[in-house]
A and B are shown apart, each in its own frame.
Chain A
Amino acid sequence: MSVTAVSEQNQRYASVAEAALALAALTAADLARLGRVAQLRAHRLPGVTWEDLLNEAIEKLLSGSRRWPSAVPLVVFLREVVRSLASEVWRKHSQSAVVAPCPATEDQDDPVLQVADPAPGPERETVARDLLEKVQEIFEGDDVVRGMLAAFAEGLSAEEAQRSLGISFREFEAGRRRLRRGIARHFPEGLQV
């Protein structure tokens, strides 16, 4: 186990021993947050469960292959690792989906033609739409929160979302609190694998 912390260009990275101690000190609420984030990212992820994602993230941290910058909270860092692992699975999946159905042509061996389409692909689009619908269901009857969700799904920033909904900053913040509370307390059960 690496025991020493490393500093690079004013960025301090925790040692593996420090990471292990920090992991052991996570609270039940932090563990639930990590689990929820992994469930969100693993939603309909082909061949991978949320526990696989988390397990691999922890393994990468403890093996030292992903270094944890000490300035970043551990839970946030693990969320980023889970996110990148899930993206990698989607990327590989879309690559295989693009490559596999190609009819045999004279260009078949050209590696340039085998690069995956950077767009999310119809499968992931469906997953995203399904996810949004599940979350929208939690806020049945709350037009502000549903509008916020739709705006975020369009890629709008908070400020843009507030403007497009035509509500005041206070109304927007109140809606955001309801959104936060609702997601945490009524996390869509259908997401669980």
Chain B
Amino acid sequence: MTNQPNTIEAMLVTLEEELMASSDEDILAGPGAAEVSQRVAALLEKQLRPKFNRTPPKVHVLRRRDRRGHSHDRHPSRKRQLVDRVLVASPKARALVEQAEVDFMSEEELDEVLLRMRSLGLLESDDTK
């Protein structure tokens, strides 16, 4: 039965496909399934943590007033405002980046996006200054 590479592969692929197509209830009912799920979650968390180290501050932090009595959320950076404006105006820009991503971006990443928008002619060179 297993004297050709494709027969081994065919069987494994069949088993994989059945696992993928199984219902949530069934897959979580298997022996040790909850532990497997938790171990995968731990692997993911370990790798994702550095990617999300710029998690946005919580809403109550954003609304806290600074020393001059201004609320932080009233002053989003000019770069972010610019990206937001282009995103609203241009479908081409929306293919480049999604609004949800912009909210998580650092100033350097915003610079990169603005640069690409400018290279696509979505921004005048003066706009980014």
Chain A residues with a Cβ under 8 A of chain B: 1, 3-5, 7, 15-18, 20-21, 23-24, 26-29, 31-37, 39-41, 51, 54-55, 58-59, 62, 75-76, 79, 83, 118-120, 124-125, 128-129, 131-132, 135, 149-150, 152-156, 176, 179-181, 183-187, 189, 192
B47 at the interface (CB under 8 A from A): yes
Q: Which residues of A contact B95 (CB under 8 A)?
A: 5, 7
- Jot down 15 A-B pairs with beta carbons below 8 A, ordered by A: A3-B105, A5-B95, A17-B104, A18-B98, A24-B48, A29-B24, A32-B36, A37-B16, A37-B20, A40-B12, A59-B47, A79-B20, A118-B5, A125-B2, A153-B11
- Besides A20-B48, A23-B48, 7 more A-B contacts (Cβ < 8 Å) are A5-B96, A35-B39, A39-B36, A51-B39, A58-B44, A120-B5, A153-B11
Contact of A17 with B101 in the complex, beta carbons under 8 Å? yes
The 5 closest A-B pairs by CB, nearest first: A184-B22, A35-B36, A29-B24, A184-B26, A32-B37
Q: Which residues of A contact B109 (CB under 8 A)?
A: 1, 3
Q: Which residues of A contact B23 (CB under 8 A)?
A: 184
Contact of B27 with A132 in the complex, beta carbons under 8 Å? no
B86 at the interface (CB under 8 A from A): no
**Closest Cβ neighbor of B22 among chain A residues:** A184
Q: How far is the CA of A146 from the CA of B75 in the complex (A)?
A: 66
Interface residues of B in 19-39 (CB under 8 A from A): 19-24, 26-34, 36-39
